[in-house]
Structures are given as structure tokens and as C-alpha cells.
A and B are shown apart, each in its own frame.
Chain A
Amino acid sequence: MNEDNINSFQRSSLWHDAFRRLRRRKFAMVCFWIVAGYFALAVFVYIAESIDPTMSAINWKEQLGQGMEYQRPSLCSVKTIFGTNFLGQSTLISTLYGVKTALAVAFAASVISIMIGVPLGAAAGYFGGVVDDIVVWIYSTLSNIPWIILVMAFAVVLNDDKIMGGKLSGEPGVYLAIGLTSWVGICRLIRGEIIKRKESEYVLAAKAVGCSNSRIIFRHLLPNVFHIIIINFSLRFVSFIHMEVIISFLGLGDANKPSWGKMISAASSELTRGIWWEMTAATMAIFVLSLALNIFGDALRDCLDPKLRMER
């Protein structure tokens, strides 16, 4: 083996290799850019809103004028491309604002569920014994309750609750409800991986040189299962978006801001009078994002999971 080969081998880490493989998959990359576009839009809405909520491009409250209620989609102006709602507000802007709501909730809920699930799973897998029993008992109990019912129950309870003087109603209530109820899957996965790896040579070596338990978990074990967290994050993200839509549809979300669930809920009764554009705009936005995330998530898993990689 010459020096170049050795250097190339050294550079070809798990992540480097995965991204190289991912770049080769054209369709997955298209999906990646679609997802990135959604995220960019969400970030733009978030920043624009914090600078000037009345900025025309994101002002979903703006009424397009008297007599503009329930206008069909038209190309007269950008704002009427998806028509208007019962108050004459642009459906396009509501849909774009919905991107921010959905992604913010899904992102925050994913982070919460990872923050709970990963340490609990790692502790249960690494220490075993009573710690493992307690964690397994908690997640077994939680997983026996249908998820949607659990999320709804949390959303209702959190809706009027105050934490440290701040009220939880609205978006924080929704992502807390989803995050607090959805850590079981990642916890179970991490626990299994840690059990598998805790007797590995590199862990035994770390123990032999006197590393503390927390150092072994956080510096040695978790970095080696990080790709699993990423895969799980990307795949769960879609279901969190769907859950946000369901929660808003049921009237448990933030009633004061646009969301896709609220748009679908309003449209469900308006459909009978031929007002289809609100429903169409919201469902199309969900469909494109879900499809892109699913395809990209699958590709990411294929590239990151060593087993799947070797089979190809």
C-alpha cells in the first residue's frame, strides 16, 4: 500500500464516505435541495417576522381589500396565486408561514425527543441493572399508549400551563407535547446499540486507562452511534410535521397563527362550497416536503448505515 492510498483511506471517514455516496444519488440531492429550500424559507420567515412582522412578503394578516374574500387562484398578483381566504388574506402567504410553523415545531420536537431519548437509552444500555429496568419500564408504559392520544392529552394539559411564569399555549405547547411523547423510539434504538458496543475493545481500552463512565458514554460510545441519531432524526421529522398538522387540525395548536392543519380544518367545511384552494395549497406543501424528506431520509440511511452500505 503506497502513501497516497493510505492518505485516501485515512480521509475516507464514515461521514466523508457517506456524503460522497449521497452526492452520487441525483434524485436524493434534488430532495435535499427541496428540503433545504423549505428550511431557508422558514428561517427567512422567522428572521423577517422578528425584524418587521408587517413586512408585506410575510404579513399573512394583510387583507387584500374589500370584496377580496374567497377569491379563486389567479395570476393577477403573486399574492393571489393560491387565492384568498374568508377575510381576503393571501393563501400563499399563509402557506409560506405554515412552513415556518411546521418546521419549527418538528425541529424543536425532534431536538426534545433526542435530548430525552438519547441520554436515557445510553444510560440504560451502559449501566444495565436497575437503571435499565426503570428506563425500560417507563418507555414500555409510554409506548403502550397510542401516540396520537398521548400527544393530544399533553397538548391539552400544556395548553394552559405556565412554566416559570410563561404561558405554554401556542407553538411551545405543541412541540413540547410532541417532543415529550416521542422519545421512546430513539431511546430503544440507542439502548440496543450501546448494549452491543459497551463490550467493544475501544470501550474496554477506555475503561482500562481510567476514563469515567460519562466520558466513555459521551466521548466514545455516542459519537459512534451518532449516524443512527441522524437517520432517526430525518425519518421522525416527517412524522413530527404530520403530527403538528393533526394537532392544529384538531384545534389544539396555536390558534393565532397560520398553520397547515388550521388551513385544512377551515377548508374541510369550505370545500362543499367549492373553495378548494386553501386545502390544495396546504396539502401540496405537506406532500412535497414529506416526499422530499422521506426520499432524502432513506438515501441518508442507505449511505450512513454500514450494513446497508456493504450490501450494495
Chain B
Amino acid sequence: MITNDWHRRLILLILILPTIHTGCRKDPADEKGMVLRQALLSKPQTLDSGNMSDVYSMMVGGDIYEPLYTYHYLKRPYELIPLSADGMPEVSEDHLTYTIKIKKGILFQDDPCFRGSKGREVTVHDYIFAFKRMANIKFINVNWSGWQNKIVGLDDFHEYTRQFKDEYSVDYSKEVDGLLALDDHTIQIKMVKPYPQFISALADICLSPVAQEAVNYYKDEINSHPVGTGPYRLNKWHKGSYLIVVRNNNWRGEKYPTEGEPGDAEEGLLDDAGRELPFVDAVYWTIFKQQQPAWLSFQKGLLDSKSIPKDNFKEAITSETGLSEEMRERNIRLVKFVDPSVFWIGFNMKDKVLGNNLPLRKAISLAIDRERFIDIFFNGHHVAAHGFIAPGRDSYDPEINKCGYSRYDPEQAKLLIKEAELICGDSIAPLKLNMPGSGTFFTQYGQFLQRSFEDVGLTLKVDYMDLPTYMEQTAKGKSQLFASSASAVSPDSLDVLGMFATKNFAPGSNLFFYSNSEFDKLYEEGEVMFPSDQRNELYRKMERMVMEDYPAVFLNHRVSYVLYHDWNRNVKPHAFSFGLTKYRKIDVEKRNKYKDLLRSIR
């Protein structure tokens, strides 16, 4: 009988144990030290710096990796400053040779891929390896297209890798003429032609130093085993659920900036000037697939900051700039900034129906009421797009709204459709749009477009698909119409202009397969021009040239509204940089009192 009883207890214990374990998982807020709690609205695609292109990967990866340059955290207009580089580069008079020194004593994080699991010192060979790896044809790289025909010998290296069986059998010892290691801490990069955006391109996470040992050790698993040199390292990644990054004890160290723009001191953004970074010990990224749980977590104080979901806008904001009483009671603060981004409905110019039918493309543009679109989906707080260069960028054209590219005129659209039918020789067949998701936002977005098309006599079928399928179909030119958007990576607008260059056909950034020889010629000119009024004028001319051809319907530019609790310090929105966690600070005592505050409000 005693034995039976013991058996029962044992079985009960085994059944209960997992429950206890789950129940005891530490709430990050209860961790000792300073923990920043952030939300991700999608899972990161990869944490391999070499292949990062999505914003969620960069949000996490930005704290783990350090490229050569970055943008100053506080200064505006945005200013490029050295990060792992030791000073700005020496540039030859012909702007073809860049000599860059890197800081001494930078260590990779400790990792089993290194001898004795101790991170070794970074040399310029690790940067050269990052370039060569990006050029490796067997390493399917999303960032390669932007680097074609830029660095002397790198395109040859790209071709050379074709002969190898797989990514890992490529012999990286083959020299690239344009990538020279003058010594362990000095790299010389030779360009094929002047590339004025080169230094800002070096601020891209995808060109952070990569340890060859890590690639060989983890192989395909490197996606989830980042080995970086940044202030944080990955501690845990529970796929689809959360990520934890913690301080990297091997980090080189840095001090909080002592200068900013006027008004920063009054805002308290210089209170920590000259102090040792980072302030936060760990960052807890929770993946929320739905906006509502994230919003409720923020309100409960379980997230430190959160952008406002469209359905909660009226709850948070009561007037153009003001916070609602409810938010004020909770000591919640608001930051608002123009995010240089653009949303559009793209046309596949290789498509038989759309490609040779300018009246049809123009009719579709005239059929969409952008103001109503912004009212419905962004509570009227985004800006209608009259072109594709967003406000806030150097070459934004304040006069473009007078050109009428974003006019809403369904009657004119109907007339143009008749013209389009003459070109087709028949009535316009139902059009098909690929949508990169199937959530509520996307289905409502699709319904809105369908109604707009129907109002002018067109039929639109919307195919809601997952992001990888959407990306594959669009890159292969299989989408007839596609909904997409782009965020700027630098103040220079060449990146968005590049979306219309023939040489950037997908899988490069030209998903429209738009080709215009005159535009291409100007693009070649623009590529080698340094910032000047003349270049801005050229960019504006190119933008209008594209707009006249209507390869897309540009809808809106985002204006971001971000809320944060008052225990957050040093919060300043930044349009171009990732890896800003090191500047953030949390008043833990204040955060711990939030529950009392909530109770007192109730």
C-alpha cells in the first residue's frame, strides 16, 4: 500500500513539475538590474548580419553588431560619425580610394566558435570577409544587388564563387583588388567610380565585421547564433515568442554624447552626457503578432514604449498633438516624428495588361482617394504621397503636390479606362493584387482597394499571402499588382530612386521592372554626384520622370506616434539608425511604482 501511494505521489509530482517550471519563468520586470522591455510586431527573419533586410531583424541585430559608421544619436540634421571606425575615412581626391582605420581592441563576444570560447580581436580582415561573403553567389544575399559594380574586383569575386558547391566551400583567400588590408587595423577600399553614398552605406548593419570562425562553426545555424561586437549579445531566442539580449562584457565601451541639437538639454537628453554606456543591462523583446496584446501590455506597464495601433488612436490622442487624459494620468509621454517612408501599390511593368497601358495605370492612381485611405487606416495622421521622395529627405520636392499625381478623380479615371480598353482591344480583365499578409489590416486594406477599383469599373482580386511567398512572387515578377512600402536608410534619396533603375531589376530593389533609358542615364549621373543643390534638382527631375509613367500608386508617408512611460530616459526618435538601446535608461524605482499608480487611478 505504501509503495502504491509513493507511485501516485511520484506521478503527481512528474505531472506538476512542468507546470511549476512554466509558472516560475521569470518576468523580465522582476530581473535585477535595468531591463528594457520592447515589442516586436513580427518575428525577426534572421540574426545573421550579412543577410539582414527586414526592420525587425535590424531592431534586434542593431544592438548586437556594429558597422564602421553610424548616425549621431542627438544631432539634427543627421550626422555620420565613426562607430567601430577610428575616425572618418581618408578619401582620395578622385573619390575612388577610401582609407579607413578601425579602433584597436574591439573584441568579438565570447562564443564557442573561438578558441577557448574567448572572443578574439577584430581586424580589418573581418570586414573584408563580410564584403566577400555578401558577394558570395552561393550565399543568397538580399543586399548584394546594391553593391554590384561598386568595389574594384568584387564583381569578379562574385563570379568566381559560382564554381563552388556551396557557400561554405568557397575559398575566401582569393584577393579582391579593391579590398586591401594595409595592416590589421587599416583597410583601403577602391571604388570603380565615385560613390558619394559610400560612407552612409558603411553604416548598414549588413557590413558589420563577421568572424569566419562563426560562419564555419554554425553554418546555416548562424541565423540564430549571432556573433557580434556590439554592446549586447543574444542570450535567448524562443522562436516566435521572445528574445533576450544581455550586456556583452567584451564590448569596447563608449560614452553618451555630449552634444545635441538645440532643445535637447532642456528635454533632459544631455543629462547623462559623458557617462559610460550602455545603461540598460538587458533587453527583453516580446513578439506580438497582434497589436492589441502589445497595447494592453504597454498600458499595464509591461512594455516601456509602444507605437499607437490604429484602433487605439482615439483612446491615446485627443487632439492633433495632445495626449488623452487617460494617458496623462499614467504619466505616459508622446513622441511624434515624420518617418521618411512611402507606401504604394506597385504595377508590374512586364505585365501584358499594365505594362503598355499608361492610361490604365493613371486611371488606377486617380481612382484612389488617398485622404480617405489615410483617414481610415491611419486616423488621418499620415501624409498623402504626391511623389515617392518622403518629406524630411534632402531632395524632397515641396512643389510636387502641384503636379496632381495623387489627385482623386474617379470621373477622369473612367474616361481613361475607356482609352485603356482601346489599347487592350477589349474590356480590362480582372486585375490581381498580391498582399503581403492576411491579418485584419491587410484584408481591410484589400477591401478598400477593391471598392476603389469597382467605383471606376475595374475588378480587383486580392491574393492574401504570407510574406516569404509574397516576396518570392514579387521578386520573380509574378505579381501583377503588389502592395508594399519602403523606409529610408539614409537622408540621401538615391535608394528610392534606385527602385526604378533598370540595373536594379528584382531580386534587386526594382520590383516594378520599370525601365526608362533616360532615367537610367540620369541615375548613373546621380550616383556619382556629391550632395549639392544641383543633385537635389536632378533627383527631383528623376522623381517627376518616374511619376509621369505611373509605375506605382504612391499612397502615403508615415508619421510615427510613439508612446513611452515616464520611467524611460534618453528617448529621441531616429529615422535612420538601429542599435540605439545603449543610450536608453530606465528609472527602475519609478517603474516599480507603476502598479501603485494604476491602483490609485482605479
Contacts and interface: CB of A to CB of B under 8 A. Distances in A.
> Are A and B co-members of a single complex?
yes
B291 A269 contact: yes
B292 A269 contact: yes
B454 interface: yes
Contacts of B469: 160
B312 A273 contact: yes
Nearest to B435: A255
A61 interface: yes
Nearest to B465: A160
Contact of A269 (B290, B314, B447, B463): B290
A160 B469 CA distance: 10
A232 interface: no
Contacts of B443: 251, 255, 262, 266
B309 A269 contact: yes
Contacts of A86: 376, 444
Contacts of B444: 86-87, 266
A270 B379 CA distance: 13
A214 interface: no
B451 interface: yes
Given A87-B451, A255-B464, A272 B440 contact: no
Interface in B432-447: 438-440, 443-444, 446-447
Interface string A141-154: 00000000000000
A63 interface: yes
Interface in B127-141: none
B376 to A, nearest CB: 6
B462 A251 contact: no
Interface string B277-295: 0000000000000111001
A265 B440 contact: yes
A266 B447 CA distance: 12
B311 interface: yes
B376 A69 contact: yes
Interface of B is mostly: helix
B594 interface: no
B461 interface: yes
Contacts of B315: 272-273
A160 B439 CA distance: 17
A61 to B, nearest CB: 7
A13 interface: no
Contacts of B465: 160
B114 interface: no
User: Which of A169, A252, A268, A273: most chain B CB closer than 10 A?
Assistant: A273
A8 interface: no
Contacts of B448: 87
Contact of A63 (B311, B313, B314, B451): B451
Contact of B311 (A251, A256, A265, A270): A270
Given A86-B376, A87-B376, A272-B315, A251 B464 contact: yes
A272 B451 contact: no
B438 A255 contact: yes
A42 B292 CA distance: 34
Interface residues of B, number: 28
B292 A272 contact: yes
Contacts of A265: 440
A266 B376 CA distance: 13
Contacts of A256: 446, 450, 461-462
Given A61-B451, A86-B376, A87-B447, A268 B464 contact: no
A59 to B, nearest CB: 11
Interface in A59-104: 61, 63, 69, 86-87
Nearest to A70: B376
A80 B329 CA distance: 37
Interface in B306-338: 309, 311-315
A69 B380 CA distance: 14
Contacts of A272: 292, 295, 311-312, 315
A272 B309 CA distance: 11
Contacts of B464: 251, 255
B312 A268 contact: no
Contacts of A169: 463
Contacts of A262: 443
Contacts of B291: 269
A61 B376 contact: no
A251 B441 CA distance: 11
Nearest to B439: A251
Contacts of B295: 272
Interface string B453-496: 01000000111110001000000000000000000000000000
Nearest to A273: B311
B187 to A, nearest CB: 47
B292 to A, nearest CB: 6
Interface in B182-228: none
Contacts of A273: 311-315
Interface in B365-399: 376
A69 B447 CA distance: 14
Contacts of A255: 438, 443, 446, 462, 464
B313 to A, nearest CB: 8
Contacts of A251: 438-440, 443, 464
B455 to A, nearest CB: 9
A284 B501 CA distance: 54
Contacts of B376: 69, 86-87
A169 B469 CA distance: 15
A153 to B, nearest CB: 14
Contacts of A252: 438
A268 B292 contact: yes
Interface string A269-298: 110110000000000000000000000000
Interface in A163-186: 169
Interface string A31-53: 00000000000000000000000
A296 to B, nearest CB: 33
A86 B312 CA distance: 14
Interface in A207-266: 251-252, 255-256, 262, 265-266
Nearest to A54: B454
A61 B439 CA distance: 19
A203 B292 CA distance: 61
Nearest to A262: B443
Contacts of A69: 376
Contacts of B311: 269-270, 272-273
A255 B443 CA distance: 6
Indicate the member of B312, B313, B314, B447 with the most A CB atoms within 10 Å: B447
Contacts of B462: 255-256
Of A63, A87, A169, A268, the most chain B CB neighbours within 10 A belong to A87
Nearest to B314: A273
A177 to B, nearest CB: 15
Interface string B99-111: 0000000000000
Nearest to A251: B438
Nearest to B292: A269
B556 to A, nearest CB: 17
A186 to B, nearest CB: 31
A238 B64 CA distance: 51
A272 B315 CA distance: 8
A244 to B, nearest CB: 16
A266 B445 CA distance: 12
A272 B443 CA distance: 19
Nearest to B313: A273
A262 B443 CA distance: 9
Contacts of B309: 269
Contacts of B451: 61, 63, 87
5 contacts: A61-B454, A87-B448, A251-B443, A252-B438, A262-B443
Given A256-B462, A266-B440, A273-B312, 7 more contacts: A61-B454, A87-B444, A87-B451, A255-B438, A255-B462, A269-B440, A273-B315
Shortest beta-carbon contacts, A-B, top 5: A251-B438, A269-B311, A255-B464, A255-B443, A266-B440
